[in-house]
Amino acid sequence: MALAVVASRALLGVQAPAIAVEVHLSGGLPATHIVGMPETAVKESKDRVRAAIINANLRYPDGRVVVNLAPADLPKEGSRFDLAIALGILAASGQLPAEHLAKHEFLGELALSGSLRPIHGVLPAAIRCGQEARTLVVPEGNAGEAALVRSHRVLAAGSLLSVCQHLRDGHGLATAADCLAANTDPPRQDQAAYPAGGLAAPETPDLAHVRGQLRARRALEIAAAGGHNLLMVGPPGSGKTLLATCLPGILPPLTEAQALAVAAIASVAGQPPRLGDDFLVAPIRAPHHTASAVALVGGGSNPRPGEISLSHHGVLFLDELTEWQRTVLEVLREPLESGRIVISRAARQAEFPASFQLLAAMNPCPCGYSGDSSGRCRCSAEAIARYRSRLSGPLLDRIDLHIEVPRLPQDELLAEAADAESSACVRARVAAARDRQLARAGQANARLGQTALKRVAGLADSGRALLEQAIGRLNLSARACHRILKVARTIADLDGADSIGNAHLAEAISYRCL
């Protein structure tokens, strides 16, 4: 009778709780049992592990094998425990030195040949192991994302046999960083672990290509500088989508901590985290208006992150906003305020970060031409009101900037392109303004709490009178008032001003056209 314990990690939201894989060998008829709330893929690991051990020219023990995944009340899913179970069986049967297992944690799926296949959700485990100063062993196919955590040692293994060799003599495994450097095209995006898609953003157009729309360009700059939500309203073909696709080109880069959090969410979702030059680029997500509420906020029987979490520290672009189902849009209200989403199911509860910037575009009426100078709109006032009622007041209240994007006049549209400001010039101002915000409060203005807002957005007597007049005339809520102050603070930051002036406040008020 023998017992071995191997350390591994489960996946719960973006957390990686520790799992003790306990293997007990005893006499009796040959059988293998896995307990500890395993789902189907975990139960099937006994057949993969047996074949992998035999094909690695190692001995699978005779008798009764019981594998317990502790804690037993935490549901276990996926094939991530294969490697730990195999090593536990080998250690319990005396084929591996059990004392060396205590220094490592193991993740990976075993092929029947004994080779290791990549899994999703490695990065949260790597982050957690880094915090606890433990060594993590992962498949070579996950070396790219695991190497993003630079604070600790991550080893990449290609097979069960190479892991056994490392545990016996301390050699045979390269670090994930070395493995990544040695392979110019590492198998980190294996189709079994990562479906097609991901967070890679397409090449963005330059703001210099946008003709006219000076007010919309200004609002886009303010939104990028302060992380504010922005809604553009205008007829078809006025440039709303083009302006939206220019936003990634003027956003400041992420910090390393923010980029690591974004990469961890992508890893949990089964999408390849961006590496290299794209690592610090803010994620941009643009789901179609037919997306469901679950696709937007996340969910499922085993909760997975949705579009708002995949947009964490980035931008969620919702085009044709009034074509979305109202019930789907309403689920955005709480995450827009809290920056997180909690998904509750009968068996478990998972929390995902969702601190995203909302960028949306819509037409002003069903035909799209209300207020257009051509006069082609024939929509009744009732039809326009019904059309705009698809957006609730509480949702609009959470959008900092509402701007109209009119159709360009014919002479301006066909005129030779003037030398407009490029995205690089705007990005420099945005980065400088964001640096001021981080130095002052440690976060973008859009995320300021009430205490911090009161400290950094004080108004003179004339400014307070101007805001009181706006509240009375526009029937602004307390939330809208606070968001106006945040936008005014961002405008002041773009001007390099230490305090909010009346001009900054008046401009911020003007961006509440709805």
Summarize the confidence of residues 474-479 as an average pLDDT. Answer: 89
DSSP H helical ranges for 5-102: 40-43, 45-55, 82-92, 98-101
* pLDDT > 80? residue 61: yes
Element (H, E) at 172: none
- Inform me whether the pLDDT recorded for 480 exceeds 70: yes
Q: Could you tell me if 171 and 234 lie in one domain?
A: no
One domain, residues 142 and 224: no
Cα 88 to Cα 293: distance, rounded to the nearest angstrom: 42
pLDDT digits (tens, 9 = 90+) for 101-112: 888 999 999 999
E strand or H helix that includes residue 344? strand 340-344
pLDDT higher than 70, residue 418: no
Q: Do 159 and 220 fall into the same domain?
A: no
Structure confidence at residue 187 (pLDDT):
41
Question: What does the pLDDT average to over 133-153?
Answer: 85
- Please check whether residue 505 lies inside any domain of the structure: no
127 belongs to a structural domain: yes
One domain for residues 27 and 62: yes
pLDDT at 131: 86
DSSP state of 249: G
Spacing of C-alpha 289 from chain mean position = 19
User: Could you tell me the CATH number of the domain that includes residue 398?
Assistant: 3.40.50.300
Which one is predicted more confidently, 186 or 26? 26
Give mean pLDDT, residues 224-253. 92
Verify that 224 and 182 share a domain, yes or no.
Answer: no
Look at residues 62, 63, 113, 114 and name the one whose alpha carbon lies nearest to residue 86.
114
79 and 43 share a domain?
Answer: yes
Quote the DSSP letter at residue 153: -
Question: Amino acid identity, residue 491?
Answer: I
Query: Is 198 a domain residue?
Result: no
pLDDT at 186 over 80: no
* Number of separate domains in the chain: 2
Looking at residue 182, its pLDDT comes to 67
Q: Is the pLDDT of residue 339 over 70?
A: yes
Q: Is residue 493 part of a domain?
A: no
Strand partners, 403: 232
* pLDDT confidence tier of residue 276, bands split at 50, 70 and 90: confident
Domain boundary (346, 380, 408) is at: 408
What's the pLDDT score for residue 512?
85
pLDDT band at 196 (very low <50, low <70, confident <90, very high): very low
In the predicted model, what is the mean pLDDT of residues 196-215?
A: 67
Q: What domain range is 175 assigned to?
A: 2-189
388, 408, 428 - which closes a domain: 408
Is residue 383 a part of any domain in this protein?
yes
Considering only 7-16, 296-305, 331-340, 498-507, which range has the smallest mean pLDDT? 296-305
Are 219 and 183 members of one domain? no
Stated pTM of the model: 0.85
pLDDT tens-digit series, residues 312-326:
999 999 999 999 999
Strands 135-139 and 104-106: parallel
- Quick one: 185 and 211 in the same domain? no
Query: Can you tell me the mean pLDDT for 377-398?
Result: 91
DSSP-assigned letters across all residues of 370-411: TT-TT------HHHHHHHHTTS-HHHHHT-SEEEE-PPPPHH
User: Cα 502 vs. chain centroid, distance in angstroms?
Assistant: 37
Residues 267 and 401 in one domain: yes
Q: Does residue 424 fall inside a structural domain? A: no
Angle formed at CA 168 by CA 162 and CA 170, multiple of 5 degrees = 75
Please give the share of the chain, as a percent, with pLDDT higher than 70.
92
38 and 168 assigned to the same domain: yes
